[in-house]
Chain A
Amino acid sequence: MRIYFDHNATTPLDPEVVEAMFAVCRDEFGNPSSVHHYGQRAKAALDGARSAVAVLIGAEPSEVVFTSGGTEADNLALRGAAAAAAETGRRHIVTAAFEHEAVLNTVKGLTRAGYTATVLPLDASGVLSAGLLREAVTANTALVSVMHANNEVGTIQPIAELSAIAHEHGAVFHTDAVQAAGKIPVDVRALGVDLASFSAHKLYGPKGVGALWIRRGVRLAPVLTGGRQERNRRPGTENVPGIVGFAVAARLAASRLETESSRLAALRDRLEEGVLARVARTEVNGARGCRVPNTANISFAGVEAESLLIALDLEGIAVSTGSACSSGTLEPSHVLKAMGLPSHRAQSSIRFSLGLANTEQDVDRLLEVLPGVVDRLRSLTPQPAGSNE
């Protein structure tokens, strides 16, 4: 019996999502852009989906643009906003060092195209300081991008405060809300943001579909060129089955947000406290009081995270660490490095991210197995320098 503790990487499809997608695949094959009956039916499915996603995030349906996922939404937000700002002469972008690579690499690309960027550091809390943002934003800043919740350590950022600072200087504010949606309430108006990215497969929806919320009035140059779908903001025949799946997942997420949050928080705390109590020399990464309810990122002194991950996988328990690179090996998490953690600590950290299917038994099984696995790893490998914290 396998246990899955990697919900921040992806989630299984909710059975209702599967049903809905299958029905659409089978029965609603029309191209939403077609004028005839088949197109109209597909269009109706799309409209319904758009509304459902809008409800989850407190938005107007017309402000939701469907994409191929969170990465594309980030690209559209950043490149689109940067290009639109060119007319104003603003060429400066501010972001944070713990952003997902979809944001960081897109910003890097923009700096090669003549923009300048300030990448703000974090501290060990994993929460961005508003003061740092205030110092960095200028009259030349076109765009600020800070994620709502961090995928590795789960810390929640003070988005309302940060977006206000951006607006004081006339800059556009984007948030990558991919990890927040479905875990904590995400109300784009209350957050005061201009752009927000979402991804279906983080909330029991399908992979390959996401959305960018674009506040009415915000100007964005399209990144893909082609037809006129999504109000000319994102061409390409819409992935109707995927989008319907996303919508069902969004509706379900909204309906169980409160109960799931408290259930997950209790499970996560059980896991976290259990690990800290039963395994020596362990520490939580990121401010514990300021996190999404399902995530625990813990470092195990004197253990290679890579080995621990594999050992747990061999015991049937799936967790993660850092981010995978193209070969499939693990590089130490850039997030932990961005928080100023020494590399030996970053290289001994494991992320546990819980979800719907997880139970107390799952947590207890982990707590049963983990101490022995860690002991074996610690006894066989020479202790790396600086591991005595």
Chain B
Amino acid sequence: MRIVAAMSGGVDSSVAAALLAEAGHEVIGLSMQLYDQREGRVSFGSCCTLDDLHDARRVAAAIGIPHYILNLERQFDEQVIDNFVREYRRGRTPLPCARCNSELKFDALLERARGLGADAVATGHYARVERRDARYALRRGLDAAKDQSYFLFSLTQPQLARALFPLGSLTKPHVRALARERGLPVADKRDSHEICFVSNDDYAAFIARRAPDSERAGLIMDTDGRVVGRHQGVHHFTIGQRKGLHLSAGRPLYVTAIDAGLNTVVVGPRERLARNSLAASGVNWIAGTPPSSPLRAAVQIRSRHVAASATVRAEGVSGAAVEFDEPQSAITPGQAAVFYVDDEVIGGGWID
């Protein structure tokens, strides 16, 4: 099979490419150039920099596959960066990696891959795709600590049909060992944990640069409606945040709500973060159609959240209502609510 291996220059995608090449497939390494790398421009973040692209090239040479770099700056800007800024300005907390997966890696990149005669795009995600008769299922990666299925909830059947995740049944330590065994130059390279296009995790500065009018002073209120402080822009906050509030109160206060329209941030004690339910839109059902009856599932609301038991009801074609058995803390609009049955992703949507 001719396969495109999406290569970021990190150890995961490098090993994924290596394993496929060893299995005898015709592998083409493609790296995405997502932002302008010319000298003199503001240097972006923590992944897919010039150095990372060079790493990807070196790995491709080491494993003996051709390597090309595709300029997807425009698509990345339109589909990921734009959305990121808009969401924060609306008082929501975006999940750019999930959008990159569904709009770039398994859309724009997949399209280019097919143009090159490739049948699939392989990535280094810790997740598993399985074919069951005519349908594809998406499962968590075997390594629970590294599982990235949460970020793949938006993949549709046609996308899953052309997705390969060679690392899905491996653990991270094993993957590093495989890289070392093969003498890959990135075997000991640090993982990137931040959003790739933001340096030093300073996303507030990033947003202020992109949209200077985001820096608008507003009020911080408590849950009784009293003003307790001021802020410099709602994009500095996320639900459940405690740091950076600069408030002096008897006890710890957390962001419980953000109203971008009123430019107001609401804070309260920890208990006020708990909610029993959420509504989701833009829901993707992995099987392709919504379930006709309510579903018992474990619902995960953040990448580092332990999925909690809930009842999930489809609403229309792209909505869902989730009722948790136990209250959950800091349900955050803009994040994804992903529904699991055992280790299988049934669907997911964007939290309202």
Chain A residues in the interface with B (C-beta under 8 A)? 304, 306-307, 310-311, 313-314, 325-331, 376-377, 380-381
The contact sample of 30 A-B pairs, CB cut-off 8 A, is A304-B112, A307-B112, A307-B115, A307-B116, A310-B28, A311-B116, A313-B66, A314-B28, A314-B66, A314-B116, A314-B117, A325-B38, A326-B37, A326-B38, A326-B39, A326-B50, A327-B50, A327-B69, A328-B53, A328-B68, A328-B69, A329-B69, A329-B70, A330-B71, A331-B71, A376-B115, A376-B117, A380-B111, A380-B114, A380-B115
Instruction: Please name all residues of chain A whose beta carbon is closer than 8 Å to the beta carbon of B57 when the two chains form the complex.
Output: 328
B328 within 8 A of A: no
Q: Which of B28, B39, B50, B116 has the most CB of A within 10 A?
A: B116
Give the distance in Å from the alpha carbon of A328 to the alpha carbon of B115 in the complex.
20
Chain B residues in the interface with A (C-beta under 8 A)? 28, 33, 37-39, 50, 53, 57, 66, 68-71, 111-112, 114-117
Give the distance in Å from the alpha carbon of A156 to the alpha carbon of B325 in the complex.
77
Give the distance in Å from the alpha carbon of A327 to the alpha carbon of B32 in the complex.
10
Instruction: Please name all residues of chain B whose beta carbon is closer than 8 Å to the beta carbon of A377 when the two chains form the complex.
Output: 115
Instruction: Please name all residues of chain A whose beta carbon is closer than 8 Å to the beta carbon of B66 when the two chains form the complex.
Output: 313-314
Instruction: Please name all residues of chain A whose beta carbon is closer than 8 Å to the beta carbon of B38 when the two chains form the complex.
Output: 325-326
- Measured between C-beta atoms, what is the minimum distance from A372 to chain B in Å? 10
Contact A310-B50, Cβ < 8 Å, known A327-B69, A329-B69, A381-B111: no
B50 adjacent to A311 (CB under 8 Å): no
Instruction: Please name all residues of chain A whose beta carbon is closer than 8 Å to the beta carbon of B39 when the two chains form the complex.
Output: 326
- Which listed residue, B33, B71, B111, B117, touches A311 by the CB 8 Å rule? B117
Give the distance in Å from the alpha carbon of A326 to the alpha carbon of B33 in the complex.
11
Instruction: Please name all residues of chain B whose beta carbon is closer than 8 Å to the beta carbon of A314 when the two chains form the complex.
Output: 28, 66, 116-117
Instruction: Please name all residues of chain A whose beta carbon is closer than 8 Å to the beta carbon of B69 when the two chains form the complex.
Output: 327-329
Summed over the interface, the residue pairs from A and B with CB atoms below 8 Å come to a total of: 48
Contact A310-B53, Cβ < 8 Å, known A329-B33, A329-B70: no
- Measured between C-beta atoms, what is the minimum distance from B106 to chain A in Å? 15
B71 adjacent to A306 (CB under 8 Å): yes
- Measured between C-beta atoms, what is the minimum distance from A228 to chain B in Å? 34
B115 adjacent to A311 (CB under 8 Å): yes
Instruction: Please name all residues of chain A whose beta carbon is closer than 8 Å to the beta carbon of B115 when the two chains form the complex.
Output: 304, 307, 311, 376-377, 380-381
Contact A306-B111, Cβ < 8 Å, known A314-B28, A326-B39, A326-B50: no
Instruction: Please name all residues of chain A whose beta carbon is closer than 8 Å to the beta carbon of B117 when the two chains form the complex.
Output: 311, 314, 376
Main secondary structure of the interface of B (DSSP, over half): mixed
A327 adjacent to B33 (CB under 8 Å): yes
Give the distance in Å from the alpha carbon of A331 to the alpha carbon of B73 in the complex.
11
Instruction: Please name all residues of chain A whose beta carbon is closer than 8 Å to the beta carbon of B68 when the two chains form the complex.
Output: 310, 313, 328
- What is the chain A residue whose CB lies nearest that of B50? A327
Instruction: Please name all residues of chain A whose beta carbon is closer than 8 Å to the beta carbon of B33 when the two chains form the complex.
Output: 327, 329
B28 adjacent to A329 (CB under 8 Å): no
Contact A329-B71, Cβ < 8 Å, known A313-B66, A314-B28: yes
- Measured between C-beta atoms, what is the minimum distance from A256 to chain B in Å? 34
Instruction: Please name all residues of chain A whose beta carbon is closer than 8 Å to the beta carbon of B50 when the two chains form the complex.
Output: 326-327
Instruction: Please name all residues of chain B whose beta carbon is closer than 8 Å to the beta carbon of A328 when the two chains form the complex.
Output: 53, 57, 68-69
Instruction: Please name all residues of chain B whose beta carbon is closer than 8 Å to the beta carbon of A329 when the two chains form the complex.
Output: 33, 69-71
Further 18 A-B residue pairs, CB within 8 A, beyond A304-B115, A306-B71: A307-B115, A310-B68, A310-B116, A311-B116, A313-B66, A313-B68, A314-B28, A314-B116, A314-B117, A326-B38, A327-B37, A327-B69, A329-B33, A376-B115, A376-B117, A380-B111, A380-B114, A381-B111
Instruction: Please name all residues of chain B whose beta carbon is closer than 8 Å to the beta carbon of A313 when the two chains form the complex.
Output: 66, 68
Give the distance in Å from the alpha carbon of A310 to the alpha carbon of B57 in the complex.
15
Instruction: Please name all residues of chain A whose beta carbon is closer than 8 Å to the beta carbon of B114 when the two chains form the complex.
Output: 380
Give the distance in Å from the alpha carbon of A376 to the alpha carbon of B71 in the complex.
20
- What is the chain B residue whose CB lies nearest that of A308? B115
Give the distance in Å from the alpha carbon of A377 to the alpha carbon of B117 in the complex.
9
- Measured between C-beta atoms, what is the minimum distance from B51 to chain A in Å? 10
Instruction: Please name all residues of chain B whose beta carbon is closer than 8 Å to the beta carbon of A325 when the two chains form the complex.
Output: 37-38
Give the distance in Å from the alpha carbon of A327 to the alpha carbon of B70 in the complex.
10
B53 adjacent to A327 (CB under 8 Å): yes
- What is the chain B residue whose CB lies nearest that of A377? B115
Instruction: Please name all residues of chain A whose beta carbon is closer than 8 Å to the beta carbon of B111 when the two chains form the complex.
Output: 380-381
Contact A306-B116, Cβ < 8 Å, known A326-B50, A327-B37, A329-B33: no
6 closest A-B pairs by CB:
A329-B71, A328-B69, A329-B33, A329-B69, A327-B37, A377-B115
Instruction: Please name all residues of chain B whose beta carbon is closer than 8 Å to the beta carbon of A381 when the two chains form the complex.
Output: 111, 115
- Measured between C-beta atoms, what is the minimum distance from A92 to chain B in Å? 26
Give the distance in Å from the alpha carbon of A313 to the alpha carbon of B67 in the complex.
11
- Measured between C-beta atoms, what is the minimum distance from A279 to chain B in Å? 16
Give the distance in Å from the alpha carbon of A310 to the alpha carbon of B65 in the complex.
13
Give the distance in Å from the alpha carbon of A361 to the alpha carbon of B28 in the complex.
27
- Measured between C-beta atoms, what is the minimum distance from A115 to chain B in Å? 21
Instruction: Please name all residues of chain A whose beta carbon is closer than 8 Å to the beta carbon of B116 when the two chains form the complex.
Output: 307, 310-311, 314
- Measured between C-beta atoms, what is the minimum distance from B192 to chain A in Å? 18
Instruction: Please name all residues of chain A whose beta carbon is closer than 8 Å to the beta carbon of B53 when the two chains form the complex.
Output: 327-328
- Measured between C-beta atoms, what is the minimum distance from B39 to chain A in Å? 7
Instruction: Please name all residues of chain B whose beta carbon is closer than 8 Å to the beta carbon of A326 when the two chains form the complex.
Output: 37-39, 50
Give the distance in Å from the alpha carbon of A325 to the alpha carbon of B41 in the complex.
14
- Measured between C-beta atoms, what is the minimum distance from B108 to chain A in Å? 10
Instruction: Please name all residues of chain B whose beta carbon is closer than 8 Å to the beta carbon of A306 when the two chains form the complex.
Output: 70-71
- Measured between C-beta atoms, what is the minimum distance from A296 to chain B in Å? 23
Instruction: Please name all residues of chain B whose beta carbon is closer than 8 Å to the beta carbon of A307 when the two chains form the complex.
Output: 112, 115-116
- What is the chain A residue whose CB lies nearest that of B52? A327
- Measured between C-beta atoms, what is the minimum distance from B324 to chain A in Å? 41
Give the distance in Å from the alpha carbon of A367 to the alpha carbon of B28 in the complex.
24
Give the distance in Å from the alpha carbon of A311 to the alpha carbon of B115 in the complex.
8
- Measured between C-beta atoms, what is the minimum distance from A20 to chain B in Å? 31
Q: Which of B28, B53, B112, B114 has the most CB of A within 10 A?
A: B112
Instruction: Please name all residues of chain B whose beta carbon is closer than 8 Å to the beta carbon of A376 when the two chains form the complex.
Output: 115, 117
Instruction: Please name all residues of chain B whose beta carbon is closer than 8 Å to the beta carbon of A331 when the two chains form the complex.
Output: 71
- What is the chain A residue whose CB lies nearest that of B39? A326
- Measured between C-beta atoms, what is the minimum distance from A268 to chain B in Å? 27
Give the distance in Å from the alpha carbon of A327 to the alpha carbon of B9 in the complex.
13
Instruction: Please name all residues of chain B whose beta carbon is closer than 8 Å to the beta carbon of A330 when the two chains form the complex.
Output: 71
Give the distance in Å from the alpha carbon of A381 to the alpha carbon of B115 in the complex.
8
Q: Which of B66, B115, B117 has the most CB of A within 10 A?
A: B115
